[in-house]
């Protein structure tokens, strides 16, 4: 059934999903921060073929109709402010889907939902690179999962093609993927694929081992969902994502290069802030990303 989606976030992810929803026959309003905005989105696939898509571009101030489907594609730290900004434009039983990186930003939305609204979380391991304000390039295939995090009643998944029964498990897996790939690419200034090669490979292996120990031996997070994660395969899974998105510059590397705020609080910071677990490497990666002027000294520290 065709729906009208409000997509929030004009980064690589927002443009990717606006284009995908239009391709599936849905109507899409893409929320833009500025009055002046592009008129279309150009998506270049891995063979260099470009396709254009025309969502309705709008600012929150210019919108009057209410939405039943909202897709949040912002940075993790912007998810809650962005939702609060458009909350009055959501219907009382709307489906809110949050596709942010990391762990925690999705759950922060729950207390702010209207009584009958449902919250869905999604994880995607696709590589997408923003070229400019109106174009993106697809840099790596990857799977996408959407599952319910909070719902007052049983509801069908608004993105049924990507349905997943246990999204918390997938979120933890994605947290591990981001906690290894993103800081290492950002600290060493390399592509996702390059962290699988020496000398960064040793740190990759140590970071995987540490996260496995947090999830398995240290019982973090205190939740039965970790039991459903195939921890034996976690290292392979992270390496596969790094390989499949090998040419991608991770979102954290791009943020560091453009001197933007990073999502580290919702990634390495999620581990580092848990007092009950020992994760010295995540602590160090967290510290390094928070000190972008000193990355070279952190590179040396990590390689020693």
Q: Of residues 41, 241, 272, 289, which one binds ligand KPL by CB under 6 A? A: 241
Cα radius of gyration (the chain): 19
- What is the rounded CA–CA span in Å between residue 69 and residue 184? 35
Binding of residue 101 to ligand KPL (CB under 6 A): yes
Spatial CA neighbour of 121 closest among 69, 171, 70, 179: 171
Closest CB 197 distance from ligand KPL, rounded Å: 16
Helix (H, G, I), strand (E, B) or coil at 25: coil
Please identify, among the stretches 15-23, 30-38, 200-208, 241-249, the one whose residues bind ligand KPL according to the rule CB under 6 A: 241-249
CA–CA gap between residue 15 and residue 30 (Å, rounded): 8
Do the beta carbons of residue 78 and residue 65 sit within 8 Å? Answer: no
* Residue 262 interacts with ligand KPL (CB under 6 A): yes or no: no
Residue 225 · residue 169 · CB < 8 Å? yes
| CA 246 to mean position of chain CA atoms | 17
By rule CB under 6 A, what string of x and - marks binding of each residue 194-223 to ligand KPL?
A: ------------------------------
Q: Is 181 a binder of ligand KPL (CB under 6 A)?
A: yes
Length of the chain: 304
Region from 55-63, 165-173, 199-207, 240-248 binding ligand KPL, contact rule CB under 6 A: 240-248
Compute the C-alpha angle 100/104/110, nearest 5°. 90
182 in contact with ligand KPL (CB under 6 A): yes
151 near 118, Cβ under 8 Å?
yes
**285 lies in the site for ligand KPL, by CB under 6 A:** no
Nearer of residues 44 and 85 to ligand KPL, judged by Cβ: 44
Minimum distance of ligand KPL from residue 187's CB (angstroms)? 14
List the interface residues with ligand KPL, window 104-163 (CB under 6 A): 125, 127
> Can you give the binding site for ligand KPL, defined by CB under 6 A?
101, 125, 127, 178, 181-182, 192, 241, 245, 248, 250-251
């Amino acid at each position: 059934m065709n729906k009208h989606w409000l997509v929030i976030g004009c980064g690589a992810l927002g443009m990717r999903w606006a284009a995908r929803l239009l391709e599936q026959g849905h109507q899409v309003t893409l929320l833009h921060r500025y009055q002046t905005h592009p008129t279309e989105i150009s998506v270049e696939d891995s063979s260099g073929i470009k396709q254009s898509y025309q969502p309705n571009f709008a600012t929150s101030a210019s919108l009057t109709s209410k939405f039943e489907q909202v897709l949040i594609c912002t940075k993790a730290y912007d998810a809650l402010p962005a939702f609060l900004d458009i909350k009055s434009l959501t219907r009382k039983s709307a489906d809110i889907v949050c596709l942010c990186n990391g762990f925690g930003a999705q759950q922060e939305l729950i207390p702010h939902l209207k009584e009958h609204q449902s919250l869905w979380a999604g994880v995607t391991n696709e590589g997408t690179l923003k070229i400019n304000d109106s174009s993106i390039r697809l840099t790596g295939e990857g799977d996408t999962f959407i599952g319910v995090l909070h719902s007052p009643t049983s509801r069908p998944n608004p993105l049924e093609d990507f349905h997943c029964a246990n999204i918390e498990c997938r979120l933890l897996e994605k947290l591990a993927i981001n906690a290894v790939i993103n800081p290492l690419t950002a600290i060493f200034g390399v592509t996702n694929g390059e962290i699988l090669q020496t000398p960064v490979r040793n740190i990759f292996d140590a970071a995987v081992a540490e996260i496995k120990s947090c999830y398995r031996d240290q019982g973090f997070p205190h939740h039965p969902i970790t039991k459903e994660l195939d921890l034996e395969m976690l290292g392979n899974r992270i390496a596969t994502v790094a390989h499949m998105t090998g040419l991608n510059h991770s979102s954290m590397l791009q943020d560091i290069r453009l001197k933007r705020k990073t999502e580290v609080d919702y990634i390495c910071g999620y581990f580092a802030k848990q007092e009950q677990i020992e994760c010295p490497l995540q602590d160090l990666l967290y510290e390094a990303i928070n000190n972008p002027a000193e990355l070279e000294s952190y590179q040396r520290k990590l390689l020693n």
